[in-house]
A = this chain, B = another copy of it.
């Protein structure tokens, strides 16, 4: 067994209750990984508590074991743990309130595929080549010689499905497909999963999407696409809406302005070219990644739009972005940063 896996194996040689957590705003890889890891613990025979500092989206409730994930915001644990396993969290603040359950002598296992600064775990099973944390857990199962049962298989499948954006993002590779093939062989119904996660939307979300798309505006010769949603729809999920703007042919920069409450906006930015939208976001007090970034803004939308468009126009000019560029090539050339919640 490779040294990292050996360390994990020793970490799992434990009598007491283990805490297993992931990041807040949990996505399919966070939830799937927590569940797959719990399946691993089931097989080894370790007691555990699963917790996330958030309510897990109901669309994942079909997953075996989902009901065991505790919402730490609503049901805090009020104690500390000797050992904690943290899955899919690039940095410690990402686990939110769960940090309170760690003390100096707590042994921390960090399993992740994000690129981060200094690793925060006592044991770090990190592989930035993996398309999802689920992929690392698949390797762990094999290293430990465990059988992949239905609970593990569903967790791993959903993790890969979600983090590759349904096999869309540039982290999708031959291994993503190979593992999914094996998970289907182990009993995963890919149709059932995809219907639950992507095609079972509250009607309010669809109405919010209609309103958002109706607002579509193009600027700078179609290089910038702007969509917006007002606070009337503040209770609707708008995850992925910005992708509709970045899917328009010829668009280099996409912006989604969501009104959270009167005069408070959440702005998401996407780049399909060499412009670094994190730089743009930082000018407005936000941050993010090269291809996906965001910020919050207090004020009037008219001014926000004016300031933002001026900045985006400057960027287009500075980077000599014109209509002749093949934006798909630009998108594919560099990694699309996914699951960033910006």
Contacts and interface: CB of A to CB of B under 8 A. Distances in A.
Main secondary structure of the interface of A (DSSP, over half): helix
Contacts of A322: none
A129 interface: no
Interface stretch (A35-43, A75-83, A200-208, A285-293): A200-208
Nearest to A167: B190
A336 to B, nearest CB: 7
A331 interface: yes
Nearest to A209: B213
Interface string A239-274: 000011011111000000000000000000000000
A191 B169 contact: yes
Q: How large is the interface on A (under 10, 10 to 19, 20 to 34, 35 or more residues)?
A: 35 or more
A218 interface: yes
A249 B194 CA distance: 14
Interface string A161-190: 000001111101111111011101100011
B168 A167 contact: no
Contact of A210 (B195, B199, B214, B247): B214
A49 interface: no
A332 B195 contact: yes
A238 interface: no
Contact of A249 (B175, B202, B207, B243): B202
A192 B184 CA distance: 25
A3 B277 CA distance: 58
Number of copies: 2
A216 interface: yes
Nearest to A180: B177
A51 to B, nearest CB: 27
A249 B195 contact: no
A256 to B, nearest CB: 13
A121 interface: no
Given A200-B249, A248-B203, A249-B202, A177 B173 contact: no
A328 B244 CA distance: 25
A226 to B, nearest CB: 12
A196 to B, nearest CB: 6
Q: Which of A191, A198, A200, A210 has the most CB of B within 10 A?
A: A191
B328 A192 contact: yes
Contacts of A170: 191
A222 interface: yes
B332 A248 contact: no
Contact of A194 (B167, B176, B202, B216): B167
B177 A194 contact: no
A185 to B, nearest CB: 5
Nearest to A243: B199
Contact of A175 (B62, B181, B332): B181
9 contacts: A167-B194, A168-B198, A169-B191, A199-B246, A203-B216, A203-B222, A206-B216, A209-B213, A210-B213
Interface of A: 62, 166-170, 172-178, 180-182, 184-185, 189-192, 194-196, 198-203, 206-207, 209-211, 213-214, 216, 218, 222, 225, 243-244, 246-250, 328-329, 331-332, 336
Report, nearest first, the 3 A-B pairs whose CB atoms are least far apart.
A210-B213, A177-B181, A199-B247
